Amino acid sequence: MYTFARFEQAIREALLATNLISAADIDLGAPKAAGVQADLALPCFRAAKSRGSTPAQVAQELVAALQFAPDSLVASATISGPYVNFNLNPQTFAKAVLADIQAGGATYGSSTKGNNRKVIVEYSSPNIAKRMHVGHIRSTIIGQAIANLYQRLGYEVIRDNHLGDYGKQFGVNIAATLRFGKPEGEGEAVLAAIEEQYKRYNLLMKGAVAEDTEYDPDSDAGLDDEARAWSLKLEQGDPQAVEIWQWMVDLTKTANQPNYDRLGVHFDLQHGESFYKDMLAEIISDAGESELAERDGNAIIVKDLPDHRGKKLPTFLIQRSDGGTLYMTRDIATIKYREQTYNPDAMIYIVGQPQELHFRQTFAISKALGYTDAELIHISFGTVFDAKGQPLSTRKGNMIYLETLLDEARNRAKALIEQKMAEGKTQLTAELIDQVAEQVGVGAVMYNDLYQDTKRNITVDWDRMLAFEGNSSPYLQYMHARCCSILRDFGKLPASYDGSLLSHSAETGLLKELARLPQIIEEAAARYAPFVVADWLYATARAFSAFYDACSVLKAETPELRVARGHVVAATAQALRNGLALLSIAAPERM
């Protein structure tokens, strides 16, 4: 149990010891009244009703009866109208928080809340035969952060990169490859060539009649049928289709891995939609034979199915009229497979807001068919805009590809570091310049997304992202590096220290932020909100800045105080590292 939880427990035990209030009437929370200087407050309305008294009278009786030992985490209980306010004991609190962080180290903030529970987090999910672009980064890093949070809470977390490797677009890709040939080369350059061939093939399908404004005399209306035929052949296991498709799958995975490595992202599974193809016939049969769907030729249609709130969903298909399956069919199969194989307590999908209806339909039909008892959760996110306020789009020509984005971030960060070196503000070796530039640049891109509510749209704004002041990743990383610099100058930090010396308001303010991390992890996981961690990181960095300005560490008034403050700096560095790690952002020791 961490310090704040022990503080609350001490208050509850003391309240119950008065015999003036029942456990059911104890509702501790943050003070709601403006200007109240307290760490927890007890509203006495519920207890007053139980006792047939007034809230103010109950508050007075409780404060008169409460007793706390001198070494308790609770310093005082005071009356504020119908409330009892409780304050921490700075000296015992400081020792307790530092002990928690020293004992936990890299695991500080973790808990066993999720022990014996399992969640599957599906994120990233790029399409095969396409380069990852800036739009993919949202699902990738939000999903990674949520997976990290649940892992810290003791859940068994299965991270799944559900690759888009099936559907009509692969019929187009296969037909285009047969028509234009396999591009040569490796990495993203080949993916770019495949995308160009895909575009060329689509253009040939357009303007099939002379009246069309985009008429092309070389167009071929039969190409659409050809692409659909190759899509169906792929589903049926045609050897030539499978060979070309597998080439594209392997090529894309190889090209994507460096981006994942740079983002600190990893997966336990990378099953594409194709992985579930052998289950599709059973899904279609179950749906077709149920009362949930009706047949129209080969098509299987679901009408008027209610979602989890009882609201009727729009009509949707489980199978096309040509007998082909859909994204929906494969997602249903995925849910059934996960339930049978892993028996998870929850499946969490990190996918953009435009897919909200799709997931409502998928979840509803999967539940209706009895395929899972797990909680099914869709975490949606907004659109990425450029600095001019335009949504990034391949069609508009303003799309930024992920590799290019990360390279640009690294290069801009390197230029800023070299500028600071020229100004005499920092000194780094040539090797460290490149390493830190990568950490700062990539961290800036990630934090620009993660510090905001996932539902908000985000903007690629380089000046804000790479600022060394304000709520940005470079600022947080710099504060961590400053902690490390102080500790290097300090030398060997003695293990023994007197925490009771840490009574300055700036020390207490910083320690309170450090003590919040366990609660922050629980809150962020419960809300599926990495920005809760980002808010805490920024608040902690600011609290450390206030502490640094008000409390000299290396030149403290006494040797004993110097050691105690050294432990505060070490604890801050550890907590910042842990918080940044939750977001998969590096914590450089020098900047």
pLDDT at 578 over 70: yes
pLDDT at 383 over 60: yes
397 versus 54: the higher-pLDDT residue is: 54
C-alpha–C-alpha distance, residues 146 and 519, integer Å? 15
Confidence of residue 121 (pLDDT cuts 50, 70, 90): very high
Q: Which pLDDT value is given to residue 217?
A: 55
Nearest CA-CA partner of 246 in 272, 225, 227: 272
Give the neighbor-by-neighbor strand order of the sheet with 293-296. 293-296, 299-302, 316-319
pTM: 0.92
Backbone angles phi, psi at 354, to 5 degrees: -60, -15
* Mean pLDDT, residues 469-477: 92
* Mean pLDDT, residues 555-574: 97
Q: Which pLDDT value is given to residue 209?
A: 43
Per DSSP bridges, beta strands 375-379 and 384-385 are: unpaired
Q: Indicate the length of the chain as a whole number.
A: 591
Tokens encoding 458 = 């985000």
Taking every pair of C-alpha atoms in the chain, what is the biggest distance, in angstroms? Answer: 94
Confidence of residue 564 (pLDDT cuts 50, 70, 90): very high
Question: What is the per-residue pLDDT across 172-221, written as a single tens digit (0 to 9) for each?
Answer: 999 999 999 999 888 899 999 999 999 888 888 765 444 545 555 555 66
Nearest CA-CA partner of 450 in 123, 41, 43: 123
C-alpha–C-alpha distance, residues 346 and 357, integer Å? 19
Q: Which pLDDT value is given to residue 124?
A: 97
Q: Which pLDDT value is given to residue 135?
A: 80
| DSSP label of 552 | -
Confidence of residue 458 (pLDDT cuts 50, 70, 90): confident
C-alpha–C-alpha distance, residues 237 and 278, integer Å? 11
Backbone angles phi, psi at 216, to 5 degrees: -125, 120
Block residue for tokens 């920024």: 538
Nearest CA-CA partner of 28 in 418, 14, 101: 14
Q: Which pLDDT value is given to residue 208?
A: 46
pLDDT at 238 over 80: yes
Question: What is the per-residue pLDDT across 274-328, written as a single tens digit (0 to 9) for each?
Answer: 999 899 999 999 999 999 999 998 899 999 999 999 999 999 999 988 887 889 9
Q: Which pLDDT value is given to residue 228?
A: 86
Q: Which pLDDT value is given to residue 114?
A: 97
Block residue for tokens 């590799």: 403
Q: Which pLDDT value is given to residue 196?
A: 92
Q: Which pLDDT value is given to residue 220?
A: 63
Extended strands (E) in 247-400: 293-296, 299-302, 316-319, 346-350, 375-379, 384-385
Give the neighbor-by-neighbor strand order of the sheet with 40-43. 40-43, 83-88, 74-80
Contact of 231 with 170, CB cutoff 8 Å: yes
User: Computed from CA positions of residues 147, 150, 151, 157, in that sequence, does the dihedral angle turn out positive or negative?
Assistant: negative
Please, which residues have CB within 8 angstroms of residue 56's CB and are 6 or more apart in sequence? 44, 79, 81, 82
Sketch out the chain's domains with CATH numbers.
3-88 (3.30.1360.70), 119-381 (3.40.50.620), 402-582 (1.10.730.10)
pLDDT at 139 over 70: yes
Nearest CA-CA partner of 449 in 153, 3, 136: 136
* Mean pLDDT, residues 9-23: 97
* Mean pLDDT, residues 115-121: 97
C-alpha–C-alpha distance, residues 278 and 282, integer Å? 8
* Mean pLDDT, residues 252-257: 95
Nearest CA-CA partner of 123 in 150, 160, 148: 160
Average pLDDT over the chain reads 93
Whole-Å CA distances, 56 to 16, 18, 32: 18, 17, 16
Instruction: Name which of 386-395, 456-465, 501-510 the model is least confident about.
Output: 386-395
C-alpha–C-alpha distance, residues 154 and 157, integer Å? 9
Percent share of the chain, pLDDT over 90: 79
- β-bridge mates for residue 299, sequence order: 296
